[in-house]
Amino acid sequence: MIMSKATALFRTATSELEVGPAPRVVGTLSALPPHCKLAGDIVEVRLDKMAPSADWLKQCAALQSGGTPVLLTVRLRSEGGDWENDDERRLEIYKEGLRELAAVDVELSSVISGPVAREAARLNKASVISFHDFQKTPPLRDLCEIVEKEHALGSIAKVSTMIKHGSDVDVLRALLRRRWEKPICVIGMGRAWSKTRIEFAMLGSCLTYGYLDKPTAPGQMSAAELVRRLRFPAKRKENAAE
C-alpha cells in the first residue's frame, strides 16, 4: 500500500481524524435522519439530495457527536448533484455547516469554491475541492492542472472521472503516483470499474466513497463493503477460497 505523507485533519469537538496517511472510507448519506447502519470513517451528508429541513444542521451535529466526522456536500446538478438554487444560498449553507461540522466538499468550477475554502481555513476545518467528469477521463496533463488548482484552494483535491477503457485507469493510476504536497482523492466511475475504488485506495487515494442508504454515483459500492475489503483483505481471500 502506498501511503501519502500529506495530511488533512477532520476535526470535531472531541477528536481529530487524519486523512492522507492511510485510505479513509466515506459513507454517503442521502437522507436525514439515517435509517441505516453507519459504516466507514467519515459520513458524507449529501444535503442536495434531501428535502429542505429546518433542523438539518442539528441532525448532522448529532451524527458527528457520535464520533464520526461529517463531510457536508451540496452538489450542483451540473456535477452530478441535485442542487439548482442560487449559489448565494448554497454559500450560506456551507458557512452554517462549517460552524459545526468537520469538513465540506465544493466543486472547483463553482463561483463559491474560493469563499467556501477560505471560510473552512479560517475555522481550521477541512475542505475537499472536487472535479467531476461523467463522460470521460481527461488526459493526465489536464488532470494534473486541475489537482494543482484544487490544492491551491483547499485541503484535499478530489478527481472523479468516467472510465471507459483500461487506458483511463492507467491515467488515474499515474495521477495518484505523482508526488503531491496535499492529499488527493481519485475515483473512477463506471459499473464495470467498481474494483478501482479499492485499487485506488491502495495506491494512495486518501478517500474512497461508498453509499450508506443508496448509491450516488455509477459503480459505487456500499461503505460496509469497502470497509470489509480494505480492512479485512485476508478474510476476504479465505472466503473466496471456500
Catalytic residues, by residue number, are: 132, 158
Peptide bond into 33 cis (omega under 30): yes
Q: What angle is formed at CA 175 by the lines to CA 173 and CA 178, rounded to 5 degrees?
A: 110
Number of residues in the chain: 242
Query: Which residue, 15, 61, 17, 32, is CA-closest to 156?
Result: 17
Question: Is 201 in a helix, a strand, or coil?
Answer: helix
DSSP string, 19-60: ESSS-EEEEEE-SSS--S---SSEEEEEGGGS---TTHHHHH
For 209-218, b/e burial (b = at least 16 CB within 10 A) is: bbbbbeebbb
